[in-house]
Structures are given as C-alpha cells and as structure tokens.
Amino acid sequence: MSKIFNPLKDVGRLIEPFPGEWVTLSSDKKQVVGHSKKMETALNQAYKKGVEHPFLIKSPDGNIAAVIY
C-alpha cells in the first residue's frame, strides 16, 4: 500500500517558520529551497539553487489553510 502524502503533517515543521509565505521545497520535500511573500520570488530562489521541479506550498498564517501547487 502506498503512503498518502499529507503536506501539513509531512512538511509542517519545515514551513512553520514562514507564516503567510510561499515556500518552495526540494523535490523530495525534505528541505526549504526558497520562501517569500511573492510566489514568483520563492520559485526563482528554488530554480537558482538548481531545483527544477520544486514543491510549492503557501504556509498558513492563522487566517488561511495551506495552499498547495
């Protein structure tokens, strides 16, 4: 049986320091490779670090739930 990916459980500790920001994670979802209030900036940070297919998530800030792309 395959494990269902739960972003809030599996990456919650990684995105917690960045409330309300867009956070890009490495393809294996084990490290933060970018973060910003602007989605494009977070993605560009990941691309500059050589991550071709980053995982993008909007970290909750108390007013919203996480948004995952």
Tell me the per-residue pLDDT of 35-51, one tens digit each, with 9 for 90 and over.
999 999 999 999 999 99
Q: What is the pLDDT of residue 8?
A: 56
Residue ranges covered by each domain of the chain:
7-68
If you average pLDDT over every residue of the chain, what do you get? 85
Q: What pLDDT sits at residue 64?
A: 63
Determine the Cα–Cα distance for residues 50 and 19; give it in Å rounded to an integer.
25
At residue 5, the pLDDT reads 60
CA dihedral for 19, 21, 22, 24, sign (positive or negative): negative
Which pLDDT score is estimated for 35? 98
Is pTM beyond 0.85? Reply is no
The string over 14-49, giving b where at least 16 C-beta atoms fall within 10 Å of a residue's C-beta and e elsewhere, is bbeebeebbbbbbeeeeebbbbbeeeeebbebbeee
